[in-house]
Amino acid sequence: MDLQAQLEELKTKTQNQLKAIKADNANELQELRVKVLGKKGSLTELLKGLKDLSQELRPLVGKQVNEVRDVLTQAFEEQAQLLEAAQIQARLESETLDVTLPGRQIKLGNRHILSQISEEIEDIFLGMGFQIVDGFEVEQDYYNFERMNLPKDHPARDMQDTFYISEDILLRTHTSPVQARTLDKHDFSKGPLKMISPGRVFRRDTDDATHSHQFHQIEGLVVGQNISMGDLKGTLEMISKKMFGEDRSIRLRPSYFPFTEPSVEVDVSCFKCGGKGCNVCKKTGWIEILGAGMVHPSVLEMSGVDSEQYSGFAFGLGQERIAMLRYGINDIRGFYLGDSRFIEQFK
């Protein structure tokens, strides 16, 4: 067979093969394209015969080669489009979409109960014109103890044994050092100081159901002229009602903290039994919620605040304790495990 006839045959054969390719076998098209038009394909093979042709015939056949390549290239193109359309059509016919099915719910997370508690308390105090101050979790011994009236050999330090980074630097044992740091900076010519400071604190405790080596407190401090114990009581009563219900009352019991004088322990009337005595209040009708007192004159003086002219009150509450009381949580470790079954209970 001469070259021209072979070219003609290749063209017709390929066209027929192309038409036979089915939509679900689309890669056959690519294979055929390589076999016929590829670098080492049939057309290239036939081209090699050109050199044996006569001078007159060579340009003619050369032209025919080009025509066959063009025709086939176009045919491949068209067949590819047809196959694609057929595939789409097939999918449209086979896939069904039930638009009446309910949508897939995206699971929303919620804030951790401790974040909720501190935000709730922050909101209450913001409403009363308090500022919210951030303290340092890694604190100097100086602010954590000395400035809170606990000099180096003070026995009350033992109750707050903690993690030391060096001799002078430690993980704070309470949020109280924020008192000293804020007092240092406050400009009393602009008015009284009113602040709260929520945050994490650390103690070398053995973890059990009611103790954790790290937990959360909220410190409160008000210093100004003529601040009295009445202001302390009024403020704490208000916050207790907001946290535990409007019917709550509070009582103050004498206590001791080195940085307050006098110092008190604050109890709220039991929100479960209303004061009659039950298992939550251990039959006493009262639940201890925080420590407080009038700021010790030494604490003021160490910040350069004249204790003759200024006075104040302070309080410190444990966030976990508030949450445990309010929601009847009996194991403090639940707060820190990150178990979503715990967290999701408090939406």
DSSP state of 102: P
Q: Is 265 annotated as a binding residue?
A: no
What is the C-alpha to C-alpha distance for residues 300 and 308, in angstroms, rounded to an integer?
10
Q: Which of residues 61-100 bind ligand DAH (CB under 6 A)?
A: none
Q: Which stretch binds ligand DAH (CB under 6 A): 70-78, 207-215, 314-322, 338-346?
A: 314-322
In terms of Cα–Cα distance, which of 214, 266, 268 is closest to 243? 268
- What is the spatial distance between Cα 332 and Cα 198, in angstroms, rounded to a whole number? 18
Binding mask 250-289 for ligand DAH (x = CB under 6 A): -------x--x-----------------------------
Minimum Å gap between C-beta 219 and ligand DAH is 6
Sign, CA dihedral 282-284-287-293, equals negative
Q: Minimum distance between the CB of residue 278 and ligand DAH, rounded to whole angstroms?
A: 26
Q: Which is nearer to ligand DAH, 83 or 222 (CB)?
A: 222
For residue 86, give the 3-state DSSP assignment.
Answer: helix
> Is residue 314 at the binding interface for ligand DAH, with CB under 6 A as the rule?
yes
Work out the number of other CB atoms within 10 angstroms of the CB of residue 237. Answer: 15
Among 7, 193, 292, 299, interactor with ligand DAH by CB under 6 A: 292
Which residue minimizes CB distance to ligand DAH?
316
With left for phi above 0 and alpha for psi between -120 and 50, is residue 177 left, alpha or beta? alpha
Cβ proximity to ligand DAH, 257 vs 335, nearer residue: 257
Binding status of residue 232 toward ligand DAH by CB under 6 A: no
Cβ count within 10 A of residue 162: 20
User: Which residues in this chain contact ligand DAH in the complex, by CB under 6 A?
Assistant: 174, 176, 219, 257, 260, 291-293, 314-316
